[in-house]
Amino acid sequence: MVQDNPQELSGERLKESASESVRKGDDIRARVHDLTLRALRGRRFDRREIREVVRAITEGVALGAEHSRIDLRQSLSEAFRGVDEALRKSSEAGQNALKQLVATGRDFSDQELKQALANMKKLEDDFLSTVGQVAEAANERVRPELREILEGARRTGTETGKQVAGMMAEFAQRFSVASIDVALWGLEAASEFGARFTQVASGFLAGVADSLMERQAQKPEQPQAPQQPQAPQQPGEPENKGS
């Protein structure tokens, strides 16, 4: 596993780390998931930053998949699921932030809540459209495979989309979907969450990522299997010379 400082996971370094994770060919989903989560943890919680992480990761995945030790389609599919699961956790952090802000109720208006929900609603679209852009720029081997994965995701949905749908259902009694759509169209900068929401959501996401890195640091090495003691030799029994 590539271990990087989250603040350093930007641009080419993030792309290289994603490519290396896929080239190794083992635990691709977990490697890409962890890398994506660490990258998101080190950035501002907003749609623009999330799109940049998805783009860099996917570009690296596209490069690494060509040289992976396993099948090209399998490499891309596992990496896609890894990014999706990391974004699901990011969406969950956003949902927890909204619940906390609504529960406290201080200095957080209904309009700010609508804007946060409107932006969260777009996370799956941002995810799929960004992967689609990378697919179109990929080479002739990777492009059709990524397109096929995207078509499947659009048909069956993503884990990110399911998480967001659950969040929207939770807040449906407070606001109509139409009012949330109006809030999205009314944003001057649709990629910007409110400052309070961004701060709280970033805190939740940092907690998830830090917990993950702590578990990895504490994970013991796999011990070797202990040798079985040989049974005492019985009188008259020939000596065991082994195989």
For the chain, 243 residues long, the average pLDDT of each consecutive 10-residue run is 52 91 91 93 87 96 88 94 96 88 73 82 94 95 95 95 90 64 49 68 76 61 44 48 42
Q: Is 25 left (phi over 0), alpha (psi -120 to 50) or beta?
A: left
What pTM was estimated for this model as a whole? Answer: 0.78
Q: Are 32 and 78 in contact (CB under 8 A)?
A: yes
**What is the maximum alpha-carbon separation in the chain?**
93
Indicate the SS3 state at residue 56: helix
Q: Determine the pLDDT at residue 226.
A: 43
